[in-house]
Chains A and B, each alone.
Chain A
Amino acid sequence: MDGNGPAVVVLPRRLRVEDIPAVYQEIESRRGAGTVVVDFGAVEEFDSSALALLGRLRACATDTRVVKVPAAVERSFRSSLGETPPATSCEGPGLDLPTRVLHSISVRFLAQMKSVTRFFVLLGDEIYYTVSFLRKRKGVYPGEIRNQLFFMGYKSYPITCLLVFLVGVTIALTLTGQLKLYGADIYLADIIGYGMLRELVPLMVGIILAGKVGAAVTAELSTMTVLEEVDALKTMGVVPARFLMVPRLLAMTMAVPFLVVLADAVGVAGGVLVARFSLGIIPSAFIREMQTAVDLGDFFIGMGKSLVFGWAVVVASGYKGLTVGRSAGEVGRATTESVVLSISLIILADCVFALVLY
């Protein structure tokens, strides 16, 4: 390299994929000081990465000059990469880091706002379609509500009962020691009854439905979207948001009360069992004490909360299923996001209920 002239990088005879990083680094390190001349004259053995390097250097013609390209390299370059535009600009990053970060944040924020708007549009559509179906009984496939009811109610009750029973047992066992300390054993019935009916059963039912029903609904709808079945419905004159969602919303509305009654019963049964064997409280005494703390209003509050959670699961899973992209890989992503969104909405709604009701 001459002290005043351009920097010259002479490439080796063998220029293969493993040699490229070092060569490229050397060229890049000299680019800052002015024009770099890259001499290909010695290159005899090369592969496609050498051709990619040649393409890149030619794209950066303002500060890089390529010389003595052998005929064989030139021929290969023209036949394989010659017409391909460079994959990346050789200008380097145009924006500084804070600007890029800010740009990225604003793009994501706008995308999130768009998603939120679409979610509320779907929610509004669902309310409208459900009310219009209840009035006109049109636009839903015959028998679909029954199928969905079977899936959401009958197929969900074993896991719901098992998990709520275990939660009842766990909560009762956790409280037993503390209550014994104060000689307040009998108040276990009050806590289990009140806690189960008003808080734990709605929350558990909502979360189980999000994991079991919501994930299945999203997986089904997103697969239908990817396989163009949703497009097919549209071109048949069928509104997918009504045809696919109304049966699910109505089935959920019918399944939730059934699940809540069962879950209340088994949750309290878990408490009764622990009270009987840990504290020696007989079941009739437990129930009598529970009745002093819990009334029908608590049962209906729990039921109302569960219904809202169930609807949140259907709308969130439907939203994720119907707005999925076109690749199979997005089905899995949408399913995961649907469960996260459903549980987030349930907890958010529960918090709102707590603020309003307590």
Chain B
Amino acid sequence: MDIITVRDLTVGYGDVRILEDLSFAVPSARITAVVGTSGCGKSTLLKTLAGLLPPLTGDVCFRSEQVDYLSEASLAALYRGIGVLYQDGALLNNLTLFENVALPVRMRQPDMPEAILREMVHDRLSQVDLIASAAKYPSELSGGMRKRGALARALVLDPAVVFCDEPSGGLDPITSGHLDDLLLSLKETFRMTFVVVTHELRSIERIADRVLVLNEGRLRLAGGLAEVRSSTDAFVRAFFLRKVDHDDP
């Protein structure tokens, strides 16, 4: 079953089109990787799916409900079902890691008993192996720790879909591998859906069930890894197999 459906999506401002005429679906309880060259619109797509950037034309449906970007109620329903891991973590610098992870619960469920909230945050921080750093501020954490902390925050309310903007970007292979393991385990255990923007081919090979390949704002391919490997599209081949067809325009 598809949890997100996108039809004829065009995103941009003024006369500039960043994404043009995209149509695809994100299957539930699967990891979908969004790949493409820098500046092709991957992060813009993520922002649009996360309700932050209204499209010029086209529809985004979340759990079969069309997202109305001008309606607070529609966006609130979307936000209740998603979590976002931003490229640099985007943890609030004036709060400790514990308070950052607790923030979505405090804001959405102000009457949550403190003891339960502490358990929830503790569980998520254990999952990302950051219990020892709970009292630290984001400025005292390394880049990898900030990303894991931000993932804990994105997961704390058990969202149906988690959007991850370059989760492995700037991380060493070991930390990046641990992050991949975590996404796979969350998918298996909690049947969570992930939409991951990444450049890391090794990570895509390991975790992705489905791949969306973007080039210059257009969708070049949407399919499984087998389809990617057998694709005859010059761009897809160049991107994944590093085979450049010189006669391709």
Contact = CB atoms under 8 A, between A and B. Distances in A.
Contacts of A234: 51-52, 79
A300 B55 CA distance: 51
Contact of B90 (A141, A232, A243): A232
A4 interface: no
B107 A231 contact: no
Interface string B145-166: 0000010010000000000000
B79 A237 contact: yes
Contacts of B107: 139, 141, 236-238, 243
A279 B86 CA distance: 66
Given A237-B76, A237-B79, A228 B86 contact: yes
A45 interface: no
B41 interface: no
A228 B92 CA distance: 10
B103 A235 contact: no
Given A235-B50, A235-B79, A236-B79, A228 B106 contact: no
Contacts of B86: 228, 231-232
B230 to A, nearest CB: 29
Interface string A292-305: 00000000000000
Contacts of B82: 235
Contacts of A232: 84, 86, 90-92, 150, 153
A141 B86 CA distance: 21
A237 B108 CA distance: 7
Contacts, number: 58
A235 B106 contact: no
B110 A235 contact: no
A93 interface: no
B88 interface: yes
Nearest to A237: B79
Contacts of B92: 224, 229, 232-233
B103 A236 contact: yes
B47 interface: yes
Interface in A69-113: none
B80 interface: yes
A157 B103 CA distance: 32
A142 B95 CA distance: 12
A175 interface: no
Contacts of A243: 107
B90 A237 contact: no
B87 interface: yes
B104 interface: yes
B83 interface: yes
B50 A237 contact: no
Which interface residue of B50, B104, B107, B110 has the most chain A CB atoms within 10 A? B107
Given A234-B52, A237-B76, A237-B79, A229 B90 contact: yes
A227 interface: yes
A138 interface: yes
A237 B159 CA distance: 12
A231 B90 contact: yes
Given A236-B79, A237-B76, A237-B79, A231 B104 contact: no
A227 B88 contact: yes
Contacts of A237: 76, 79-80, 104, 107-108
Interface in A191-247: 224, 227-229, 231-238, 243
A141 B52 contact: no
Contacts of A147: 94
Contacts of A229: 90-93
Interface string B186-218: 000000000000000000000000000000000
Contact of A236 (B87, B94, B95, B104): B104
Contacts of B91: 229, 232
A234 B84 CA distance: 10
B76 A228 contact: no
A227 B50 CA distance: 17
A147 B95 CA distance: 12
Nearest to A220: B94
Which A-B residue pairs are the 8 nearest by beta carbons?
Answer: A232-B90, A237-B79, A228-B90, A235-B84, A236-B104, A228-B86, A229-B90, A238-B107
5 contacts: A138-B110, A234-B52, A236-B79, A236-B108, A237-B80
Given A235-B82, A243-B107, 14 more contacts: A227-B90, A228-B90, A229-B90, A229-B92, A229-B93, A232-B91, A235-B51, A235-B79, A235-B84, A236-B79, A236-B103, A236-B104, A236-B153, A237-B104
